[in-house]
A = this chain, B = another copy of it.
Amino acid sequence: MSLSHLKKSGDAVFVDSSVTKANEIVTAWDGKDASNFSLIGVPLSKTSISHSGASFAPASIRKMLSSYSTYHIEDGIDLKTLRVTDFGDITMHVTDFEESRNRIKSTIAELLNQFKDTMPIILGGDHGISFPSIAAFTEARGKIGVIQFDAHHDLRNINDGGRSNGTPFRSLIDEGILNGEHLIQIGLRNFSNSAPYTEFGINHGVTIYTMRDVRELGIQKIIIDSLNRLSQEVDAIYISLDMDVLDQAFAPGCPAIGPGGMDSQTLIDGICYLASHPKVCGMDIVELDPTIDFRDMTSRIAAHVILNFLVEKVKLNR
């Protein structure tokens, strides 16, 4: 008698022979080779100003991939032959965040250097991780332009609380890693920022699109204008996606939610326009706290963001 009905705990409960689930194209790194697309988890959220469980997001986003298939019905693209290397998570120190940021930067830089063609999707974590992550990209991929989706500038001073999820872009600019003119912020919202930081941004050449701009100009024009300009000035473009750019009705699972934000389709459209540009070669997804979400709705959007990103890259390379 056989034991053919035994499966490893954790494997899919039901398998339809005609369906490929999105998690099936993700394979744990073997320590040697890596695909052109990769995942890196960065479970750090103790650097958040407010209470945050964003450190659980890498696991929840990965899990949500198993709720979706590889097939983009509208474009007729099936990702099932694609391979995404999952480099796993970078371990964070329990109490020493400088150490944690060093691990983030050095690990990502090392991976980018070892695997010149891989485009990592970095799963935060709070927005504080974008500082070491973008620093690593700069080191490995040259001059970087950043498209930041966010309700907030994240240009706070570091005196009042150290490097936190409110300071990554300030740190990048202050440290000379990112030129303010190469930072484009999309989705800024009323009553979610303060005048001194808007002024700091303007003074440093940061391009700012508020939600009113998104509603009036449309996401397509904003992205195309941004890509046109940035692509002439930088070597590579990095997407930094703070999930709180979305309206609370669409993404309830972020620490700093509110009304007046983007709907999820607009975000997905924006990601697609971006991903279809060859210089866009990395992305982080941050500020997603699964412990306060409802039915993993916010992680589900993150999974769709990743899959749409991959589809556009596949279309680009056809």
- Give the interface of A toward B (CB within 8 A): 1-3, 5-11, 13-20, 22, 28-29, 41, 43, 46-47, 49-51, 53, 55-56, 58-59, 62, 67-74, 76, 78, 86-97, 103, 106-107, 109-111, 156-157, 159-164, 166, 188-198, 208, 210-212, 215, 247-250, 252, 256-260, 263-265, 268, 291-292, 294-295, 297, 300-301, 303-304, 307-308, 311
Contact = CB atoms under 8 A, between A and B. Distances in A.
A194 B3 contact: no
- Residue from A55, A160, A303, A307 having most chain B Cβ neighbours under 10 A: A160
A93 to B, nearest CB: 7
B22 A9 contact: no
A224 to B, nearest CB: 19
29 contacts: A6-B89, A6-B90, A7-B91, A8-B28, A9-B41, A9-B62, A9-B86, A9-B88, A10-B59, A14-B49, A14-B161, A16-B194, A20-B194, A46-B95, A51-B291, A68-B191, A71-B191, A71-B194, A71-B198, A72-B191, A73-B190, A73-B210, A74-B212, A93-B161, A96-B162, A191-B307, A258-B304, A259-B300, A260-B264
Given A9-B86, A249-B250, A95 B47 contact: yes
Nearest to A268: B260
Given A70-B191, A264-B260, A157 B295 contact: no
A156 to B, nearest CB: 6
A110 B1 contact: yes
A295 to B, nearest CB: 6
Given A9-B58, A49-B94, A78 B166 contact: no
B67 A17 contact: no
A163 B95 contact: yes
A308 B311 CA distance: 39
Nearest to A86: B9
Contacts of A257: 295, 297, 300
Nearest to A114: B3
A192 B94 CA distance: 19
A260 B300 CA distance: 11
Contact of A9 (B7, B59, B196, B311): B59
- Residue from A19, A96, A252 having most chain B Cβ neighbours under 10 A: A19
B94 A162 contact: yes
A294 B257 CA distance: 11
A190 B307 contact: yes
A95 B197 CA distance: 21
A2 to B, nearest CB: 8
Contacts of A107: 3, 5-6
A88 B8 contact: yes
A48 to B, nearest CB: 8
Nearest to A68: B191
A46 B126 CA distance: 14
- Residue from A6, A50, A161, A308 having most chain B Cβ neighbours under 10 A: A6
Nearest to A191: B68
A307 B210 CA distance: 17
